[in-house]
Amino acid sequence: MIPIRTVFTSEQVQQIRLHLDQADWQSGELTAGQQARSVKHNQQLPPDGAITQQVGDLILDALARHPVFISAALPQKILPPLFNRYSEGETYGLHVDNAIRVVPGTSIRLRTDLSATLFLSDPDEYEGGDLQIQDHFGSQRVKLAAGDMILYPSTSVHQVMPVTAGSRVCAVFWIQSMVRSHEQRSALFDLDQSVQSLTSLHGHEHQDVTRLSGVYQNLIRQWADA
């Protein structure tokens, strides 16, 4: 799991929320698959709604400029964001995201390598509502500041714990990466972060920076499906 900090500032989140809070929310069960319908109890904006598309474009534009997201995800395709709201008593029980999703209104298919949740409510706006993700190291709970995002493998079993007070608003979407393997993608991310750190200390022309940058690029050539 990789947190992507400050996709939006607090001021930008406030502007986004002005639009979302005035939108026409519907039952999340309407867009749930057969398996998820029994455990999905939340509210969702229509995928083809004007506000969904407008705010979704803002998110995709911001992510295209976010170096940590690009390094961590190595995105090939991104499903346009969906927007969920959880009020008191609402939850989304244990589930695994669908392996293949179709971009609404198109015939474009996307393999879900990575799942993303962008928090649009601050933790003090609601109680409960933690995103609980299970992995090889146990269960971890995530509750980030508004404007921050968590990126995690779509193979993970996860759930949104019941909200006991307030309202939790978030954007969710899925990414098909150029590098399908989680292990390879993780190694590339660690290598790229090391290159960036060395560059800040020694500059682009330092021999170690050049050598490691070459290793990174050659691994991308071997592993990426561009």
Binding-site residues for 2-oxoglutarate sit at 168
Specify binding-site residues: 95, 97, 158, 168
Q: How far apart are CA 57 and CA 61, in angstroms?
A: 6
Torsion (CA) 187, 188, 194, 198 in degrees, nearest 10: 150
**Under a CB-based contact definition with an 8 Å cutoff, are residues 6 and 148 in contact?**
yes
Annotated binding site for Fe cation: 95, 97, 158
* Residues 136, 182: Cα–Cα separation, whole Å: 13
d(CA 120, CA 123) in angstroms, rounded, equals: 10
Q: Give the integer Cα–Cα distance in Å for 145 and 122.
A: 5
- Name residues whose C-beta falls within 8 Å of residue 84's C-beta, 6 or more positions apart in sequence: 28, 42, 43, 44, 92, 169, 170, 171, 172
